[in-house]
């Protein structure tokens, strides 16, 4: 069973060799590896040419810069495998990742296979807080209705997608947008009848020292707008869903993770950003009828939301201080226990 691995690459000279080495040295042999070199201005392209000498089967397609989504979509057009996989060019994967994922398909055929994720900073490996929500146990042949926790697994690069399923549902990454994974993965999970969830770690998501990674930036008005657009795509996909438990789980996740990440950094944001993002977030929450769901949040998060919705900036700042103090104390307590 051929797996097509698509790797968009843009200005990742420092990381590209480790990424390609980890993919090309997989224990699973039937891989088609396609790198879309997205008009890098550093020596990423030069390093990829050198890597082709080491790995003659490595395909490199160079194009003008069009962004991550366009590069991934171009890679899908070139792919010939029965399953599609995506790897970000600053990350690395475990040598047996694809072997484990394909082996699960021999036990239970599935439209999507997803695997556990850890964070990587330099040589240090630590848990991915986002992915821990679904990485509790391996489940073969599950789906989003049975395993609501998959709502937290919104990254495309720790997955295999059956190519026929991808095409039938006309899946594609939104060009020109950040947070491009959310409006693909959640609608895909809604459509999938069977998902193989492997709780073991396979993917290592790098936390970069520099600000080059889009997914590690949040304090940007444009990115807030893009993330809200992504949530609206998911809301549209949920139209017609009657599973009340799943609908509530979606609201809980959007409030606690997506929406809260937008307001968390407003504690130190310029006044003009505060006003704009307050308006964007409150407008979305009104449209999505989420105000009554705030009671389900932890106290400090709820208090910050309530102050924001009431446009009480002083109260928001005060609640923010209490939230960050509580957060810092929690980290200190964990560090003390681990000594």
pLDDT, tens digit, for every residue of 241-297? 999 999 999 999 999 999 999 888 787 778 778 889 999 999 999 999 999 999 999
Cβ atoms within 10 Å, residue 134: 20
Query: String of b and e for 254-284 (b: at least 16 CB within 10 Å)?
Result: bbbebbbebbbbbeebeeebbebbbebbbeb
Eight-state DSSP code of residue 222: H
Please say whether the beta carbons of 148 and 238 come within 8 A: no
Cβ-based neighbour number of residue 317 at 10 Å: 15
- On whether the CB atoms of residues 183 and 234 are closer than 8 A, the answer is yes
Query: Residue 294 corresponds to which tokens in the numbers above?
Result: 């705030």
> Which of 33-37, 81-85, 301-305, 332-336 has the least mean pLDDT?
332-336
Q: How many CA atoms, within 13 angstroms, populate the side-chain half-sphere of residue 58?
A: 24
Q: What is the pLDDT of residues 159-168, one digit of tens each?
A: 999 999 999 9
At 189 the three-state DSSP class reads helix
Ranges for all domains in the chain classified under CATH 3.90.550.10: 3-215
Q: How far is CA 47 from the centre of its chain?
A: 27
202 with 135: CB under 8 angstroms?
A: no
- Percent of the chain surpassing pLDDT 90: 83
* pLDDT at position 219: 55
CATH number of 3-215: 3.90.550.10
Number of H helices, E strands in the chain: 13, 10
The DSSP call for residue 320 is H
What is the Cα–Cα distance from 159 to 198, expressed in whole angstroms?
A: 10
Work out the mean pLDDT of the chain and round it to a whole number.
93
Query: What pTM did the predictor assign?
Result: 0.92
Q: Where are the alpha helices (DSSP H) in 79-128?
A: 97-107
Token pair belonging to 109: 């055929």
Residue 331, Cβ neighbours under 10 Å: how many? Answer: 9
Question: Is residue 212 very low, low, confident or very high in pLDDT (cuts 50, 70, 90)?
Answer: very low
Quick: pLDDT tens for 29-84.
999 999 999 999 999 999 999 999 999 999 999 999 999 999 999 999 999 999 99
Helix (H, G, I), strand (E, B) or coil at 323: helix
Q: How confident is the model at residue 215, as a pLDDT? A: 41
pLDDT at 328: 84
329: confidence class by pLDDT, cuts 50, 70, 90: confident
Looking at residue 331, its pLDDT comes to: 64
Backbone angles phi, psi at 119, to 5 degrees: -90, 155
């Amino acid at each position: 069973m051929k797996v097509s691995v698509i790797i968009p690459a843009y200005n990742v000279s420092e990381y590209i060799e480790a990424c390609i080495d980890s993919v090309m040295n997989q224990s699973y042999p039937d891989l088609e590896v396609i790198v879309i070199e997205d008009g890098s201005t550093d020596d990423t392209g030069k390093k990829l040419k050198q890597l082709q000498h080491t790995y003659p089967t490595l395909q490199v397609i160079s194009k003008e810069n069009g962004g991550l989504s366009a590069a991934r979509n171009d890679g899908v057009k070139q792919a010939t495998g029965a399953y599609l996989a995506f790897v970000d060019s600053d990350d690395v994967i475990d040598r047996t990742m694809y072997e484990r994922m394909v082996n699960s398909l021999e036990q239970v055929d599935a439209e999507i296979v997803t695997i556990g994720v850890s964070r990587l900073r330099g040589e240090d490996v630590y848990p991915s807080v986002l992915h821990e929500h679904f990485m509790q146990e391996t489940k073969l042949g599950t789906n989003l209705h049975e395993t609501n926790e998959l709502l937290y697994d919104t990254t495309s690069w720790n997955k295999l997608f059956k190519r026929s399923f991808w095409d039938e549902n006309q899946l594609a990454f939104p060009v020109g947008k950040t947070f491009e994974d959310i409006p693909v993965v959640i609608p895909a999970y809604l459509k999938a009848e069977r998902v193989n969830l492997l709780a073991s770690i396979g993917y290592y998501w790098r936390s970069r020292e520099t600000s080059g990674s889009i997914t590690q930036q949040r304090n940007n008005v444009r990115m807030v707008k893009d993330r809200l657009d992504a949530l609206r795509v998911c809301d549209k996909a949920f139209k017609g869903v009657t599973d009340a438990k799943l609908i509530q789980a979606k609201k809980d996740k959007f409030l606690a993770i997506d929406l809260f990440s937008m307001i968390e950094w407003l504690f130190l944001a310029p006044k003009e950003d505060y006003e704009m993002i307050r308006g964007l977030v409150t407008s979305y929450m009104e449209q999505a009828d989420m105000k009554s769901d705030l009671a389900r949040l932890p106290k400090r998060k709820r208090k910050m939301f309530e102050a924001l919705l009431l446009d009480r900036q002083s109260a928001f700042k005060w609640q923010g201080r209490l939230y960050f103090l509580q957060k810092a104390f929690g980290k200190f307590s964990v560090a003390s226990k681990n000594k």
